């Protein structure tokens, strides 16, 4: 525990962790009082739970899953938050020509099954899931804040973007409680507010070793090195290559620094699919972001 004097006030460091959206979600804050830190972090975790209820593809009764059932062939109005995330995801899908695609849910389900059974889907099953994926099959109406799906059985999946968005919202909640010096991590996605009072930035340990710093921004890492299933000598990662319908098979790590979590998270997933040779256009579109990709030479 470190104590730092600031403007006559002693700020102390408080750290908590809970599981949200299926991952460990540590929050570190500096506050004058423990009660303030506890109350603020509780509210931040509650906010993330609300977003999880809106955006999870695991929860049968999430707003996202109700939408998948209700919006086939007809417009369905959705909450402001869900619409915004779907809109950002859809825009990135257009910008990456479908490398990032929030409609890959049916393929993600097949990947999860492959992880369970140790077998790849047969060609017909894969083909059927591919026919139910594709961002062009999801229509958004900005004016009505509504969504329409073109094909029965489509599964939307915001796994590549929602954690970053949740990190942004957690920081907003903490600010409402007077806490600006905060850091939150959800799996590979990290967002930071102001730095600790005695440092210019937060120090972040990197999974591959070494460390970096972060303040008032976000850092996301995606790739094929963490979650994968090994079948017939090949490794299929949990990120789907929409060109094959299967998990990425090459060894790749993408890291993005951006102003906010939703941008860093979604661009990191997109960059992992695009690979080193495919990120230039993305970098031109998102000038404020810093996109890096490490790839095993093939
Ligand atoms: P991340 O860890 O942020 O890179 O997100 C990976 C998650 O995004 C996966 O577990 C899926 O839920 C989802 N996903 C998989 N493939 C794609 C894709 N090509 N585009 C968008 N989301 C994807
Ligand atoms: Mg992501």
Supply the DSSP string of 236-263, one letter for each residue: EESSEETTTTEE--S-EEEEEEESSHHH
End-to-end CA distance of the chain: 47
> Mean pLDDT across the stretch 162-190?
98
Provide the pLDDT confidence category of residue 228 given band limits of 50, 70 and 90: confident
Distance 269 CA to ligand 1 centre (A): 6
Ligand nearest to the CA of 159: 1
Residue 156: which of 88, 103, 90 has the closest Cα?
A: 103
Question: In b/e form, how buried is each residue of 234-261, taking b as 16+ CB within 10 angstroms?
Answer: eebbbbbbbeebbbbbbbbbbbbbbebb
Atom of ligand 1 nearest to the CA of 254: 4
Task: Tell me how far apart the alpha carbons of residues 156 and 113 are, in angstroms, rounded to a whole number.
Answer: 17
**Structure tokens that stand for 200 in this block:** 């210019």
Task: Specify the number of domains making up the chain.
Answer: 1
Instruction: Judge whether 18 lies within some domain.
Output: yes
Task: Tell me how far apart the alpha carbons of residues 118 and 112 are, in angstroms, rounded to a whole number.
Answer: 10
Note down the domain range covering 173. Answer: 3-56+163-199
> Mean pLDDT across the stretch 225-242?
90
Task: Tell me how far apart the alpha carbons of residues 95 and 66 are, in angstroms, rounded to a whole number.
Answer: 27
Instruction: Judge whether 276 lies within some domain.
Output: no
Indicate if ligand 1 lies below 6 Å from the C-beta of 242.
Answer: yes
What's the pLDDT tens digit per position in 207-220? 888 999 999 999 99
Indicate if ligand 1 lies below 6 Å from the C-beta of 224.
Answer: no
Kindly give the interhelix angle for 34-55 and 63-70, rounded to the nearest 10 degrees. 10
| CATH number for position 48 | 3.30.479
Distance 268 CA to ligand 2 centre (A): 5
Q: Pairing mode, if any, of strands 246-247 and 234-237?
A: unpaired
Task: Tell me how far apart the alpha carbons of residues 33 and 26 are, in angstroms, rounded to a whole number.
Answer: 19
Ligand nearest to the CA of 21: 1
Instruction: Judge whether 23 lies within some domain.
Output: yes
pLDDT exceeds cutoff 70 at 276: yes
Instruction: Judge whether 32 lies within some domain.
Output: yes
216 Cβ contact list (under 8 Å, min separation 6)? 192, 193, 194
Atom of ligand 1 nearest to the CA of 242: 19
pTM: 0.96
Mean pLDDT of the chain: 95
> Mean pLDDT across the stretch 225-245?
90
Provide the pLDDT confidence category of residue 226 given band limits of 50, 70 and 90: confident
Residues paired with 218 in a beta bridge? 191, 258
Neighbours of 196 (CB within 10 A): 21
Neighbours of 178 (CB within 10 A): 11
Least confident of 25-34, 217-226, 254-263: 217-226
Instruction: Judge whether 278 lies within some domain.
Output: no
Closest residue by CA, ligand 1 atom 1: 160
pLDDT (0 to 100) of residue 2:
57
Instruction: Name residue, tokens 């460390």.
Output: 211
The full 3-state SS of 66-104, as one line of letters, equals HHHHHCECCCEECCHHHHHHHHHHHHHHHHCCCCCCCCC
Atom of ligand 1 nearest to the CA of 266: 3
Ligand nearest to the CA of 97: 1
Residues paired with 37 in a beta bridge? none
| HSE-CB of 62 using CA atoms within 13 angstroms | 21
Q: In this structure, are residues 111 and 229 in contact, taking their beta carbons and an 8 Å threshold?
A: yes
Atom of ligand 1 nearest to the CA of 163: 3
pLDDT (0 to 100) of residue 297:
74
pLDDT (0 to 100) of residue 232:
87
Indicate if ligand 1 lies below 6 Å from the C-beta of 67.
Answer: no
Percent of the chain surpassing pLDDT 90: 91
Indicate if ligand 1 lies below 6 Å from the C-beta of 68.
Answer: no
Instruction: Judge whether 126 lies within some domain.
Output: no
Indicate if ligand 1 lies below 6 Å from the C-beta of 223.
Answer: no
Distance 270 CA to ligand 2 centre (A): 7
Instruction: Judge whether 49 lies within some domain.
Output: yes
Looking at the chain, the number of H-run helices and the number of E-run strands are 8, 17
Indicate if ligand 1 lies below 6 Å from the C-beta of 157.
Answer: yes
Q: In this structure, are residues 150 and 28 in contact, taking their beta carbons and an 8 Å threshold?
A: no
Residues counted in the chain: 298
Closest residue by CA, ligand 1 atom 3: 160
Instruction: Judge whether 240 lies within some domain.
Output: no
What's the pLDDT tens digit per position in 40-57? 999 999 999 999 999 999
> Mean pLDDT across the stretch 159-166?
98
Ligand nearest to the CA of 102: 1
Q: Pairing mode, if any, of strands 9-20 and 146-149?
A: unpaired
């Amino acid at each position: 525990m470190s104590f730092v004097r600031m403007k006559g006030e002693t700020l102390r460091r408080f750290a908590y962790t809970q599981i949200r959206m299926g991952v460990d979600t540590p929050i570190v804050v500096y506050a004058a009082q423990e009660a303030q830190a506890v109350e603020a972090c509780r509210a931040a975790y509650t906010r993330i739970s609300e977003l999880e209820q809106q955006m999870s593809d695991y929860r049968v009764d999430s707003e996202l899953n109700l939408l998948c059932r209700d919006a086939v062939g007809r417009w369905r109005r959705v909450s402001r938050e869900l619409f915004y995330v779907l809109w950002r995801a859809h825009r990135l899908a257009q910008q990456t020509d479908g490398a990032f695609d929030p409609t890959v849910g049916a393929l993600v389900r097949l990947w999860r099954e492959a992880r369970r059974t140790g077998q790849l889907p047969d060609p017909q099953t894969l083909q059927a899931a591919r026919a139910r994926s594709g961002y062009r099959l999801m229509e958004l109406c900005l004016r009505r804040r509504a969504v329409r799906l073109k094909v029965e059985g489509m599964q939307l999946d915001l796994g590549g973007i929602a954690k970053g968005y949740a990190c942004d919202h957690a920081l907003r909640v903490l600010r409402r409680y007077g806490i600006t010096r905060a850091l939150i991590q959800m799996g590979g996605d990290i967002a930071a507010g102001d730095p600790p009072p005695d440092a210019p930035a937060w120090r972040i340990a990197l999974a591959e070793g070494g460390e970096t710093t972060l303040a008032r921004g976000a850092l996301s890492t995606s790739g094929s090195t963490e979650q994968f299933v090994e079948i017939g000598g090949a490794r299929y990662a949990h990120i789907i290559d929409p060109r094959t319908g299967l998990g990425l098979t090459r060894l790749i790590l993408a890291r993005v620094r951006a102003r906010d979590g939703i941008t860093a998270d979604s661009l990191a997933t997109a960059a992992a699919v695009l690979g080193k040779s495919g990120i230039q256009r993305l970098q031109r579109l998102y000038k404020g972001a810093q996109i890096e990709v490490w790839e095993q030479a093939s």
